[in-house]
Amino acid sequence: MAALKHRRTALERVEKFLSEIYFTDCNLRGRLFGDRCLPASLSFFQTLRRIPYDEAVRQEFRPAKVGDAFGPTWETCWFKVELSIPQTWAGREVHFVWESDGEGMVWRDAQPVQGLTKEGEKTSYILTSSLKESEPHSLTLYVELACNGLFGAGKGSMIAPPDPDRRFTLSKAELVIFNRDVYELLVDLEILLDMAQLLGEENQRSFQALYTANQMVNMCDVTDPSTFPAARDLAAVIFSQRNGESQHTIHAMGHCHIDSAWLWPYEETIRKCARSWVTVVRLMERNPELTFACSQAQQFEWVRSWYPGLYARIQEFVAKEQFIPVGGTWVEMDGNLPSGESMVRQFLQGQLFFQEQFGRICSEFWLPDTFGYSAQLPQLMRGCGIRRFLTQKLSWNLVNTFPHHTFFWEGIDGSRVLTHFPPGDSYGMHGRVEEMLKTVKNNKDKGRVNHSALLFGFGDGGGGPTQKMLDRMKRMSDTDGLPRVQISTPDRLFSVLENESSQLCTWVGELFLELHNGTYTTQAQIKKGNRECERILHDVEVLSTLAVARGGTFQYPASQLQQLWRLLLLNQFHDVLPGSCIQLVVEDALQYYTEIRRVGARLQEEAVQSLCRELLQPKTGSTESTLVLNTLPWERTEVISRTGPAGTETLALVTVPSMGYAIVREPLLPPQPVAVRKQEDGSIAMENGVIAVCLDMMGRLTSLRVGDSERESVPDGCYANQFALFDDVPLYWDAWDVMDYHLETRKPVTMLLKPLEITLAGGLRGSASFSLQIGKSSTLTQEIILDATCPYLRFLTQVEWKEAHKFLKVEFPVQVRSTNATYEIQFGHLQRPTHWNTSWDWARFEVWAHKWLDLSEHSFGVALLNDCKYGASAHGNILSLSLLRAPKCPNATADVAHHQFTYAVMPHLGSFQDAGVIQCAYNLNFPLHAVPASSAQCLAWSAFSVSSPAVVLETVKQAEDRPEAVVVRLYEAHGSTVVTWLQTSLPVKEAMLCDLLERPTAQGRLPLEQRGMRLSFTPFRVLSVLLVLRR
């Protein structure tokens, strides 16, 4: 009989039929599991360490039971589970069900077989899909339980610091009969219910789905499984009604974003990878259509080292093109702060690993969760064999909605890559109807492209796809009223988008995330470690390459350098270098930097000993002199500190050729010594013939001029080098965010502890120092230094920082008017507005830069240089450098420590390019190396030089797979089109252009001419040259 249906009651009737809470005694959900049976025996042992299986099973196990709690946080429990399946369960599907608060891994026959995480909807391990007489009815499993959840162990909220004493309860451990027919019917009804609810009352299809679901409930007798097939047939009719040809196609791919460290330490990530990936492999065995996109070479390497059996299975599925390596980088690194060369090495190490392990490189860059994307990335991708890019993080923008999901992204050099943001704005979908509809509705490029990606699987803390996600999407593959859903691959998606790309728009410049801009400053010691270690590895590579090229027995330390680079690249992961991680991770990261410094210092010493051996041997009766090495590609005249015969530090003015060395016996006399004068009012004036400054008692600049010019940099009545303290309480993401409203809480720092006093009276160096109190309990001491011939004033700063939710900046108001300021980025620079005309402008109230930023008008400007800072801003005429933050989540002691850093101010005539700002910033970051030497006669020696000041020779290293070849990397730094000559004194036999993976380019051979090698650059172009040496 046809009955009138009330929409709401019909919907709720179906909901209750599926409910896990209501009417489970008589609804369908209550019939999902049949008989249950407890383990024959359950025992455990607990350890502080993450130990391998072989060691674990030899331990002494004690009895355990369901309901017991284990811990504390970060410990590991191993459970021995002895199971006996009842004979009466013959022919039934049998699962081992395990529910606990921690993350579990099932081991069987000494191999990992299944990850178990309640938060990741994985609580059962399928023992058999139909129990046969021949199958073992008694077996022993081991469950390795990490005392942490999918998202660590935050106390009170996810991002709170971990609770060190959390206990993890075992709430279920049993064998159950799994009723597959009930499960399939539940999924059918869930999809129909979602269609009914989400397609809306105005949609005919919504009512078709609802009436079908209602009819299925009528037909089902939950106590009689023989009624289920007819109900399923009704659902099949709906699912088999096809779409029209114009329907949008969703390319679904399994995905499991695993943060290499975040709310858990690196070591736990190794286990997260194994738990997640073994689950994926199990799914692939049962679902040959499943594809899984997986990034981060480091994580593959971890699994290769720790789980060789699992890794072998992964290699099989990579060969079948189901388990798909993507990204091409060592880790999913921060997209803003690593140097240009570090970004090249992310790709180089990643792509070489994938080539070596799987016989192919990645064709997509994959960075879904990073806090913004440098405008130099398109060129670096292209140089590493990548023309496609996937992310979604700009959907997190706080202010402006990004206008595209599929577009071309153009970098500062003009390189373009096809870019796709999954329109569902997530990398962790669950395969639900709601997500499919959002993907279509949200797509900003309707009419331009008709395909998009959907990444499904639990992520961040691991987990990955589930069987249910796959089963949902199978029903939606081509169902009228819903977009088409096909299990696909990144290559299939991007190939279709390339074919549809004629109408796509282009976005030029950086992809700036309007959120998380506190990450440019949080965890200053990690930022400093990164910058220092980038320098150390640069210098070791330069000096080792030169030592090899000069002949002798020196061996280039290739494997040690690879290990050090991989440590540095790991720390550039997008929750480590940004500082958004727990204290355990900070400790690991700082330990890795210590290791790079230690080994780097030894490698550098060995290279210098080999390169300059005869100059370092003391001759009898010789007076000591100093060998000075310069690892930068231009001649430098600077004041250095050297140790005299009596062990005393003395200053010397030296000139050293580009990428080479000189012996210094009699130091140079400066054209004009530094003069330091104390004025009657307590202020101090310093000048060196290049710049002149006046400082008040609090170390603030009241005057800053270039040489003889009358042009004043500091506006009347203003103070430069003014420290300011801001309240810093974001809305939620504490370590990540600084909000626009912090600017309303500015308090200048004016509490003087020790007024400015002269500390060096002049000559080669003049300096003055002072101390301030900051906030309630912090102190700052600064030495302001002016060296002979130097065009900038240095501020050597020490801070004892003990604040909470405060932000310290230093400000330089300057007498310069410009609507744009310039900021150094990787291998170049870009401009950002100094005004807040539009929401896009004011959303960039806090930005990032590398070694310098500059505000210039025609013929004059002022630059700020730094040796380890990244956060900055320029609003109106005020240049500001962000120094320290003090967030409390996820690390309660973030930045509470002693800090030392240097920044500098450089007024200049002409453009910043012509004034040498770029070179000065390098000089500040790459000090000359002074080594005691014999007084042997020695001509200065230079290995490389470049004829144009617009071109920077950034890198000199041994080629990865050709020990007889050297790779040099140069870039155009001014934003100009230029031809330059690269000169070298190394014995070069052959020269050719190569890409960033060091593969020679077609027609890339370079003639060796008298003037060197001729290289042509367009603005910000990066060129790599392979030099084959004569042995």
Q: Which residues are catalytic?
A: 369
Alpha-carbon gap, residue 93 to 586, rounded angstroms: 46
Number of neighbours of residue 91 by Cβ within 10 angstroms: 10
- Phi-psi group of 372: left, alpha or beta (phi > 0 → left; psi -120 to 50 → alpha; rest → beta): left
Which run of H or of E encompasses 723?
strand 722-727
SS3 content of the chain, % helix, strand, coil (to 5): 25, 35, 40
Alpha-carbon gap, residue 842 to 328, rounded angstroms: 34
1005 beta partners: 992
Residue 802: partners with Cβ closer than 8 Å, 6 or more residues away: 775, 777, 778, 896
Q: What is the 8-class DSSP label of residue 179?
A: -
Alpha-carbon gap, residue 332 to 344, rounded angstroms: 13
Residue 103: partners with Cβ closer than 8 Å, 6 or more residues away: 115, 116, 117, 145, 146, 148, 149, 150, 271, 272, 275, 462
Residue 244: partners with Cβ closer than 8 Å, 6 or more residues away: none
Could you please report the per-residue DSSP string of 784-798? Answer: EEEETT-SSEEEEEE
| Structural contact between residues 1000 and 808, judged by C-beta atoms closer than 8 angstroms | no
| Cα radius of gyration rounded to whole Å, the chain | 32
- How far from the centroid of its chain's Cα atoms is residue 801's Cα? 26
Alpha-carbon gap, residue 318 to 215, rounded angstroms: 44
Angle between helices 467-475 and 180-198 (to 10 degrees): 60
**What is the chain's length?**
1031
Give the strand order in the sheet containing 660-664: 929-933, 625-630, 660-664, 941-942
Alpha-carbon gap, residue 256 to 432, rounded angstroms: 17
Alpha-carbon gap, residue 898 to 801, rounded angstroms: 6
Strand, coil or helix: what is 135? Answer: coil
Alpha-carbon gap, residue 786 to 451, rounded angstroms: 60
Find where tokens 């008298």 sit.
Answer: 1010
Closest by CA to 517, choosing from 737, 732, 368, is 737
Residue 111: partners with Cβ closer than 8 Å, 6 or more residues away: 309, 310
How many angstroms separate the Cα of 114 from the Cα of each of 135, 144, 529? Answer: 19, 11, 38
How many angstroms separate the Cα of 639 from the Cα of each of 88, 92, 867? Answer: 88, 83, 18
AA identity, residue 728: D
166 φ, ψ to 5°? -70, 145
Prior bond of 378 cis (ω within 30°): no
| Structural contact between residues 262 and 581, judged by C-beta atoms closer than 8 angstroms | yes
Side-chain half-sphere CA neighbours of 75 within 13 A: 18
Secondary structure, 3-state, 517-550: HHHHCCCHHHHHHHHHHHHHHHHHHHHHHHHHHC
Which run of H or of E encompasses 196?
helix 180-198
Could you please report the per-residue DSSP string of 824-866? Answer: EETTEEEEEESS--SHHHHTTSSEE-SSEEEEEETTEEEEEEE
Tokens (6 digits) for 79: 């459970």
Q: What is the 8-class DSSP label of residue 903?
A: E
